[in-house]
Amino acid sequence: MSGGLLDEITSRLRGEPAPRPEEAVLAHLSTLLNTRQGSSALDREYGLPDLIDITHDIPAGIAALQRMIVRAIQRYEPRLTHVLVRCAPPRSSIHADALSLSFEVSAQLVGGGALRFETKISSGGQVSIS
């Protein structure tokens, strides 16, 4: 798992500075949202379900996908509270992938501060965070 305690310990043993909390959370969320449920040996519920079925049910599937993202973040990223996910229009219509979805995610860091980022889910189910 990326962005977790093991990564922090390894970095410190190498003499590297610890990542900022925001960077560690985003690294973990990238791993979480790109993992398909059932593929983790430790927790069969870790990650998101296969997104293919949801993409066939657009636009109704968008609300279901938003709920899945919120649930996954709330369950597996305890450093975040007040998680909100909303569907976002593509940033650029010139290069927009017609078969991708973008979501804006906002949350509060437990130690204080806000975190806001965009996730883009490609037609192949790959999730990128920016």
| Token pair 């990650």 in the structure block, residue | 47
pLDDT in tens, 23-48: 889 999 999 999 999 999 999 999 99
Number of domains the chain contains: 1
Q: Residue 59's domain is classified under what CATH number?
A: 3.10.450.40
Specify whether the CB–CB gap between 115 and 23 falls below 8 A. Answer: no
Q: Which of 42, 29, 128, 43 is nearest to 78 (CA)?
A: 29
On whether the pTM is more than 0.75, the answer is yes
Cα–Cα dist 27/14, whole Å: 19
Question: 95 lies in which domain range?
Answer: 5-129
DSSP state, residue 127: E
The stretch 101-113 carries a mean pLDDT of: 92
